[in-house]
Homo-oligomer: A and B are copies of this chain.
Amino acid sequence: MNVRGYAARSSDSPLAPWGVYRRDPGERDVRIQIQHCGICHSDIHFARNEWHFTTYPAVPGHEIIGKVIQVGSGVTRHRAGDLVGVGCFVNSCRSCVSCKEGQENFCEGGLRMTFGSFEADGKTPTYGGYATEIVVDEHFVLKIPKTLDPAAAAPLLCAGITTYSPLKYVGLSEGQKIAVVGLGGLGHMAVKLAASFGAEVTVLSRSSSKQGDAERLGATDFVLTRNEGALRPLAGRFDFILDTISAAHDINGPLGCLKRDGTLILVGAPADPLPVAAFRLLGRRRSILGSNTGGIRETQEMLDHCGAHGITSDIERIVPDQINEAYERTLQSDVKYRFVIDCTKF
């Protein structure tokens, strides 16, 4: 069947209405009426073929919230009427070591991304959440806590888990000091989540206009990094730095702000290699860690944590015909802090 949605027809055309193919629900499938879908920077890279693997028409969107409207006969985890979410991937091999450990995001046998992959048949493209419905294997469908605003919960499915997962991996705990570099979609979630773990959060930003927000989001400190020497007083201060910037930028300055044994976590992937001054690592046994979303079990854990702590994304709600404008504003960092599409309006 085809459902209403939006697609890019080529790398330089705006997104426009398109009939999005969805398979008939199989035995283990959940059919979801999509209510909300966040706009992630990845959507833009994908729609514009900036990663060089897009096939068109292209339907982005991997921060999906909706209601279950039909389940296959073998589905046990979800029921019609449930509020559910779908994140960055909709299937995996289910048999590699990472899948068996519940870390499907690192699947080595063929992770099926929510958009930009192919279905199990190897030829039907996967289409993302800019649509009225989606059909997904129940294993990859998350339960959304009832206490959260569904629209504001949408970005948890990507921005939320992408920042939650490395904070858990490194064991961020109460009283530890963490700096968040860049206060955007990922960064503002990182501040909220790190603060919810009891950590002392400092925001490092090039924009003084972010100071008020940083504090409102839960940061105890804000440091404007635009000025020469701004990082110097922070030397050796942090247990962790979560760097959310996906453009080219200096990480050697921030590395110097880590304590002995501190870790700088990269969750953004700049296109060009980052120059790393090795002595910054050797001198204090520091490390750089890359991280990339999280597995299904951990995503559910993150959602439950957010439910318990009342954590959602700060969002701006839009309707479908504002998507192209929202892309431009996202590219200019002119959003606080995530656009979320009302998918009932497609």
Minimum CB–CB distance from A177 to chain B (whole Å) comes to 14
Interface residues of A in 97-150 (CB under 8 A from B): 98, 103, 106, 108
A residues lining the B interface (CB < 8 Å): 98, 103, 106, 108, 166, 169, 236, 252, 260, 263, 266-270, 273-292
Can you list 22 A-B pairs with a CB-CB distance of less than 8 A? A106-B260, A169-B285, A252-B273, A266-B282, A267-B282, A270-B278, A273-B275, A273-B276, A273-B278, A274-B275, A274-B278, A276-B276, A278-B290, A279-B290, A280-B290, A281-B290, A282-B291, A283-B290, A283-B292, A287-B288, A287-B289, A288-B288
Once the chains bind, are A286 and B278 in contact (CB under 8 Å)?
no
CB neighbours of A276 from chain B (8 A): 273-276, 288
CB neighbours of A277 from chain B (8 A): 273
Majority secondary structure, A binding face:
mixed
CB neighbours of A291 from chain B (8 A): 282, 285
Minimum CB–CB distance from A278 to chain B (whole Å) comes to 4
Most buried by B among A263, A269, A278, A288: A278
Minimum CB–CB distance from A146 to chain B (whole Å) comes to 32
